[in-house]
Amino acid sequence: MIGAYPRIRLDGAVVVVTGAARGIGLATAKRFAQRGARVAIGDLDGEAAAAAADFLGRGIRAYPVNVAQLDSYKMFLDEIEDDLGEIDILVNNAGIMPIGPFLVESAEVTRAVFDVNVAAHMHAARLVAPRMIARGRGHIVNVTSAAGKLHSAGLASYTASKHAATAFSRSLREELRPHGVSVTAVLPSAIKTQLVDGIPLGVLSIGVLSPNVVARRIVSTVRTRPPLASAPMGLTPLFTAASLIPERMWLLGRRLVNADRTMGPIDRTARAEYDARIAANITPEVTT
């Protein structure tokens, strides 16, 4: 037992990772597989997921999934259980991050942000938690963001969605705790993935993490089962300070370290591939 939670042995465990065709998800899938887990990865880009699984080897299976759609998520999980057996660990990693002033962001993009970054976590909970409760054990990891405890101009919808996802994770954790099922929100800072393409980070690039750092943190939560896990670990004091520092001091500090780059000129050419991935998540609104 780990506190209120039954221990999960990674060797032979069935692990599901979404948004795993690249970046944090891919690194996480690799690390779980190295520990002997039977890993299934999912991504909206099914071909990229299949290529990633082939690249990693180790028997990793790939499936196409639109995490924003409940029916697609259910089919995804059902196929995995048919192929690999009952799911022990689910890592909700899929997410999108549009950049720019909120007033020029379309309503369709905003809706997609909440569909992928928040509703998908809720879909996952509705689908996988009852299966875990029936067995009296399981672990759900929701990869949110440091933005789930902070805020930033140029990332209004993204930070709002990550606050929601983090709060949902904490509330869900309390509901599932009596049943032996744990929920951890993992809050990474800036990661060297397509999420930061086109952003003139300047000196801030020194603090950009490798996806492998976050992957290690995610895998470690299976052993420790914390409610929150930041990456890097030193972020936690910043989360506390952010709620206590007067606004003027906060804004001054952001200017001193050039943290407002998300409101500056974005290299849209460098960011084109990632913007196309965001567009793929937009479902046109049907009017009658």
The catalytic site residues sit at 158
Residue 282 Cα distances to 63, 231, 232, 234, 276, angstroms:
20, 29, 31, 35, 10
Residue 176 Cα distances to 8, 117, 125, 141, 231, angstroms:
16, 21, 10, 13, 24
**Three-state secondary structure call for residue 166:** helix
Tokens of 91: 């890592």
Tokens of 265: 């000129």
Residue 179 Cα distances to 19, 120, 235, 250, 259, angstroms:
27, 22, 30, 41, 42
Contact 93, 40 (CB under 8 A): no
What strand order describes the sheet that includes 228-231?
Answer: 61-64, 38-43, 14-18, 89-92, 138-143, 181-188, 228-231
**Three-state secondary structure call for residue 142:** strand
> Please, which residues have CB within 8 angstroms of residue 111's CB and are 6 or more apart in sequence?
282, 283, 285
Tokens of 132: 């875990």
